[in-house]
């Protein structure tokens, strides 16, 4: 004979839902965030069309008869950033843009970065740096900065500086070695260049040299600036970082229009992740939307894998709670990180941080209100993800 | 030094949750919907087994020891349609079927179409039209009708009327040209016939003619009625519609049992979508379950792509809120459309429209209640998706 | 002219949300569950590190600087199992482990199995049985036990007992035939061995014999214990079960680190499922995370397919409501089953059953509170999934 199942937790003495929410919200709002993956912000003023274009990852001309402000990110900026610039929440787009011009880019940037509550940023400087503030200027806004080195950019600079394959290899080795002193970690954009369905094996020296020779020959012929899309060389860079015991950030999931999303599913990387198990490296799966559950599986299965859901949080706006919730399913709480993946608009820092605090509050307060998590554990998880995991992983 | 993050929105002066929900619900209930993709309804009476079979997309015999009424759609019909026929909500299946027979098919159909609040329907007449009411009869029920032309059906009719490849090509050109005067848009069922992993290039005339010759030879040999599964010819049809600057509806995701769902992932179409960027065409991804997030990514990335989640809404019933919520993540709000994808049962109009109104109310009222969207914006988004986006896109 | 849509259900006379929740919860808590897929529990005492390792499916060493208790399953055990062992909910891990040692493994096991409210278990004894209690011992704890036969294990035992292909085939036939008298069903771990992208056809005798010869030759050469990874032989086993009209459990989705998750998507099995339609067999898709919606589509489309979301429920803990909700989308309610997939830790029975009762209460009470499902229907669905569907399907 079986007994009845145990009673559910008594809810009589439990604090009210509003009290729980306030308590969890206070914890989240108090975290000085470490943003483990973002970029710098625009150096120059934007015109209105430029601002609107920067609201999406598309890069394409705007939709006919529509405005990019009619999107989750557009709504989130009007809600969250308008008050930071001294307006009512949900100010109309034209009002927002006018106020931003009145304040000027430096003052708007200062206010928006300040409002984010982000304390430290690991900055990937490898994408379109010419339009962005340099690290020193970003630092002047009060952010602590640590560099993430984009591996493909190092290879491309090495190719531009070399005349043949052996020269390239020597230059690449030298430049990679140089980064060791300062890099907090490395990043690969293999998802954009080859997709993540990479053969797992470390390529041999012979394969790498042959690939380099092919690439340099093509470059010499075309005269175009180097853009690395060779799978062997990208795997060589990835294995260099793994063998160095570094944190290797891997873009996965949603990104800009250069990406074929089907090739950015982190499950495609499972063979390579399995092959690198037992190394001293950490694989950080970046952003991952809409493959967060797959990324969580990889974090569950391999203790050297971590993840974030950064980019999606900003673009999902009022719907961000779900993507944050999905990052708290299968991944151990020690394997989840905070990022904004902000690029260009300083609004992306303010929005990315605020939306994450709100979404984490929604999710964790929901767990506590349902009696499924203690308030202490919820607070502990929030601090791990907002700051402490990054401190542990990036040292 | 960083400041504390900004306070969350004050909730003191906010209207109550119930008031917000009522206000959003009133907006949704007041929209005279444009259903941008549906089919006609059964012309004849159904027996009970026929009704039950029509509750699923399976087409297969019923599950042993079970009833198809024990499904989300079955529950939704008992809840939503029973009162329309003068019964209590949640009437038992046998009671519902008896009442429907008492009223007769025309009266039941009239009530159910009326109850939907759908004003205008873009009708794909290309699937099993012999069992359905003609357009004039559907119009007599008070629906404004505009035709969507199913491209594969045009090709199949052309093949039936032609004796060789050049005759087929001439016939196809002529028939396609004829549709231009009246078609609101076109539709491809490539997902059913070849899957969506189509090579992106516009096929050459030579390739098309060769494919036509092969198909006609096979048809002559088999004597079976034409059913187009040739990838080259299907791509030819798709590019015809793109070059015409038309709206091209593409079935994606969940459909009937003829479908291999893995081949209906809209991400498989990304190369072709990318290739058609900059054309005057619009690609409308239909239904998309469970790939709504992928469809939203395509809408975000390409300004000539739009989407709906129609078919799933009806089949998900009480769980429809989630699929509607996912359509409001990455897609700009100007890129989302309403549809029922009703076919056969007029219940599908009543249920598809009611569930969509409820789900949109759930999602948008939730955003407003959380202080994450203004009531005005919520109302505006509801009207865009329920009617205005279709008016803009289909002209 | 269209009329206004029908009014939503009046909520005036509706029972309060708390009353509904209590009523639904009472139904769920009263179900004596049939767990249609689980394993036995550890026979011996575990040390603390062994317990922590058993908290994940990883099998890998623990994450540096972290504890496996900081996971949804870890939190769920501290919440649900601590009171079963006489502690406060959310007891610290070290307190929990100490109390467990004080009670001793048999007493802790007895309490945890009792607390689950599981009445009957279909036991897959094919994974690492040497570390687990035998069926008779498990039965002594009050569980009714029925065996599920793991097909690959039968083939491996047959290979170990045979010296050539024809001997193997005869041995396999004999052993499979023997299982018919007692097996409640069969299971394949093809997802682990070859992935689910199996050619759908029943292999010919000639193909099977050739594959057997190759396998036995490799075994003779390597001397390693047999581990079946041959696709032809696995398909032979699958078709044997289908032809026998049996219930064939197919592992799909998330599992241990031996799995490539991309190859465990149940959609990969659609061609084989379609091919087996019309047979007397039932295909039971096990666990399925994060592919529950795909599994639901297969259940919707093929009346001989059923599914569960067992393993994920335990590992998702406070987030389990979502995975249970997704199993109630497209699948008919007659096609969904309960399982824990417990293995090793008896905590997995207690947690799997409790989390499922809570999640079903969340989902069904939510439907009823929103007026979208009657209380009677909610109760009926709960009982179908918790017990009656299994009784119907496994006889």
Find out whether the peptide bond into B290 is cis, omega within 30 degrees of 0: yes
Q: Which residues of C touch A381 (CB under 8 A)?
A: 70
Cα C30 from Cα C314, distance rounded (Å): 20
CA A11, distance to chain mean position in Å, is: 39
Across residues C69-85, what is the average pLDDT? Answer: 98
Across residues B100-106, what is the average pLDDT? Answer: 97
Count the helices and strands in chain A (H runs, E runs). Answer: 19, 7
- pLDDT the model gives residue A5: 44
End-to-end Cα separation, chain C, in angstroms = 54
Is pLDDT above 60 for A1? no
- pLDDT the model gives residue B14: 66
Q: Do B350 and B84 meet the contact criterion of CB atoms below 8 Å apart? A: yes
Cα A55 from Cα A45, distance rounded (Å): 15
Point out the residue among A30, A61, A90 whose CB comes nearest to the CB of B374. A90
pLDDT tens for each residue of B182-196: 999 999 999 999 999
Is pLDDT above 80 for C10? no
Q: Parallel, antiparallel, or unpaired: how do β-strands B33-38 and B305-308 relate?
A: unpaired
Is pLDDT above 80 for B20? yes
Cα C221 from Cα A304, distance rounded (Å): 36
C114 touches chain A (CB under 8 A): yes
Point out the residue among C271, C300, C372 whose CB comes nearest to the CB of B56. C300
**Polymer length in residues for chain C:** 395
Q: Do A261 and B297 touch (CB under 8 A)?
A: yes
CA separation, residue B243 to residues B178, B236, B237, B271, C194 (Å): 16, 10, 10, 17, 44
Find where tokens 């040999």 sit: B221
- pLDDT the model gives residue C157: 97
Across residues C118-136, what is the average pLDDT? Answer: 91
- CA proximity to C108, closest of C27, C26, C42, C203: C42
Across residues A301-322, what is the average pLDDT? Answer: 97
Q: Parallel, antiparallel, or unpaired: how do β-strands B336-337 and C33-38 relate?
A: unpaired
Give me the sign of the Cα torsion angle A109, A112, A117, A121.
negative
- pLDDT the model gives residue C60: 87
Give the 3-state secondary structure of residue A28. helix
Give me the sign of the Cα torsion angle C300, C306, C311, C316.
positive
Q: How many CB atoms lie within 10 A of CB C294?
A: 25
B171 touches chain C (CB under 8 A): no
Q: Do B318 and C372 touch (CB under 8 A)?
A: yes
DSSP for A35-55, written as a single string: EEEE--BBSS---HHHHHHTT
- Nearest-CA distance from A273 to chain B in Å? 24
Confidence bin at B54 (pLDDT 50/70/90): very high
- pLDDT the model gives residue A3: 45
Q: Which residues of C touch B263 (CB under 8 A)?
A: none
Q: How many CB atoms lie within 10 A of CB B295?
A: 32
Instruction: Please name the residue ranges forming H helices in C230-383.
Output: 231-243, 270-276, 292-301, 310-316, 320-326, 347-369, 375-383
- pLDDT the model gives residue C7: 41
- pLDDT the model gives residue A12: 46
Find where tokens 């939510």 sit: C366
- pLDDT the model gives residue A126: 84
Q: Parallel, antiparallel, or unpaired: how do β-strands C33-38 and C118-124 relate?
A: parallel
- Nearest-CA distance from B41 to chain C in Å? 17
Task: Identify each DSSP E strand in A189-317 by its residue range.
Answer: 247-252, 282-287, 305-307
- pLDDT the model gives residue B12: 46
- Name which residue leads in pLDDT, C163 or A107: A107
Any chains having at least 3 CB pairs less than 8 A from chain B are A, C
Q: A198 in the Ramachandran plot: left (φ > 0), alpha (ψ -120 to 50) or beta? A: beta
Point out the residue among A3, A294, A370 whose CB comes nearest to the CB of C114. A3
Q: What is the ipTM of this complex?
A: 0.95
Binding-face residues of A in 248-307 toward B, CB within 8 A: 254, 256-257, 260-262, 289-290
Give the 3-state secondary structure of residue B148. strand
What is the model's pTM?
Answer: 0.96
- Nearest-CA distance from C316 to chain A in Å? 5
Lowest mean pLDDT segment, chosen from A160-164, B212-216, C264-268: A160-164
Compute and round to an integer the Cα radius of gyration of chain A: 22
CA separation, residue A163 to residues A21, A171, A212 (Å): 61, 10, 11
Cα C184 from Cα A275, distance rounded (Å): 39
pLDDT tens for each residue of C360-386: 999 999 999 999 999 999 999 999 999
Is pLDDT above 90 for B10? no
Residue in C with minimal Cα distance to B92: C377
Identify the bridge partners of residue B144 per DSSP, sorted by sequence position: B120
Q: C17 in the Ramachandran plot: left (φ > 0), alpha (ψ -120 to 50) or beta? A: alpha
Identify the bridge partners of residue C185 per DSSP, sorted by sequence position: C148
Cα B219 from Cα A395, distance rounded (Å): 69
Across residues A191-205, what is the average pLDDT? Answer: 97
C2 touches chain A (CB under 8 A): no
Strand order, beta sheet including A33-38 = A33-38, A118-124, A144-150, A185-188, A247-252, A282-287, A305-307
Is pLDDT above 90 for A211? yes
Confidence bin at B129 (pLDDT 50/70/90): confident
Element (H, E) at B337: strand B336-337
Q: Do C35 and C339 meet the contact criterion of CB atoms below 8 Å apart? A: yes
Lowest mean pLDDT segment, chosen from A20-29, B129-138, B150-159, C264-273: B129-138
Confidence bin at C1 (pLDDT 50/70/90): very low
- Average pLDDT value over all residues in chain B: 95
End-to-end Cα separation, chain A, in angstroms = 55
pLDDT tens for each residue of A245-267: 999 999 999 999 999 999 999 99
Q: Which residues of A touch C22 (CB under 8 A)?
A: none
- pLDDT the model gives residue C6: 43
Q: Do B75 and B317 meet the contact criterion of CB atoms below 8 Å apart? A: yes
Q: Do A1 and C254 touch (CB under 8 A)?
A: no
Q: Do A368 and A375 meet the contact criterion of CB atoms below 8 Å apart? A: yes
pLDDT tens for each residue of B329-369: 999 999 999 999 999 999 999 999 999 999 999 999 999 99
Q: Do A301 and C353 touch (CB under 8 A)?
A: no
pLDDT tens for each residue of C138-180: 888 999 999 999 999 999 999 999 989 999 999 999 999 999 9
- Quick one: what percent of chain C has pLDDT higher than 90? 90
Full 3-state SS string of A94-137:
HHHHHHHHHHCHHHHHHHHHHHHCEEEEEEECCCCHHHECCHHH
Is pLDDT above 80 for A188? yes
Q: Do B332 and A66 touch (CB under 8 A)?
A: yes
């Amino acid at each position: 004979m079986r007994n009845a199942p145990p009673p559910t937790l008594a809810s009589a003495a439990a604090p009210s839902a509003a009290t729980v929410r306030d308590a969890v919200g206070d914890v989240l709002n108090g975290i000085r965030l470490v943003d483990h993956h973002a970029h710098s912000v625009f150096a120059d003023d934007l015109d209105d069309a430029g601002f609107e274009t920067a609201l999406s990852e598309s890069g394409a001309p705007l939709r006919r008869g529509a405005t990019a402000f009619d999107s989750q990110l557009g709504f989130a900026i009007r809600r969250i950033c308008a008050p930071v610039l001294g307006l009512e929440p949900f100010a109309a787009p034209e009002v927002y843009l006018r106020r931003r011009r009145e304040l000027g880019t430096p003052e708007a940037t200062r206010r928006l970065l300040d409002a984010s509550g982000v304390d430290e940023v690991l900055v990937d400087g490898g994408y379109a740096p010419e339009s962005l503030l340099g690290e020193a200027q970003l630092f002047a806004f009060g952010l602590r900065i640590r560099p993430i080195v984009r591996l493909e950019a190092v290879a491309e600079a090495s190719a531009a500086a070399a005349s043949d394959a052996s020269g390239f290899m020597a230059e690449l080795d030298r430049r990679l070695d140089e980064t060791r002193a300062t890099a907090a970690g490395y990043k690969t954009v293999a998802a954009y260049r080859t997709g993540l369905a990479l053969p797992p094996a470390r390529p041999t020296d012979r394969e790498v040299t042959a690939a380099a020779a092919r690439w340099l020959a093509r470059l010499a012929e075309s005269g175009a600036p180097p853009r690395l899309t060779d799978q062997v060389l990208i795997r060589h860079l990835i294995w260099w970082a793994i063998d160095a015991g570094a944190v290797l950030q891997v873009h996965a999931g949603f990104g800009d229009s250069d990406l074929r999303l089907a090739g950015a599913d982190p499950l495609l990387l499972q063979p390579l992740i399995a092959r690198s198990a037992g190394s001293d490296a950490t694989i950080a799966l970046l952003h991952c939307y809409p493959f967060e559950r797959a990324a969580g599986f990889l974090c569950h299965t391999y203790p050297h894998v971590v993840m974030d859901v950064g980019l999606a949080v900003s673009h999902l706006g009022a719907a961000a709670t779900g993507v944050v919730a999905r990052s708290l399913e299968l991944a151990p709480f020690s394997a989840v990180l905070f990022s904004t993946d902000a690029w260009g608009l300083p609004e992306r820092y303010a929005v990315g941080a605020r939306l994450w605090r709100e979404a984490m509050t929604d999710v964790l307060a929901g767990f506590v209100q349902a009696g499924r998590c203690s308030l202490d554990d919820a607070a502990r998880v929030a601090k791990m993800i907002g700051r402490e995991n990054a401190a542990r992983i990036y040292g």
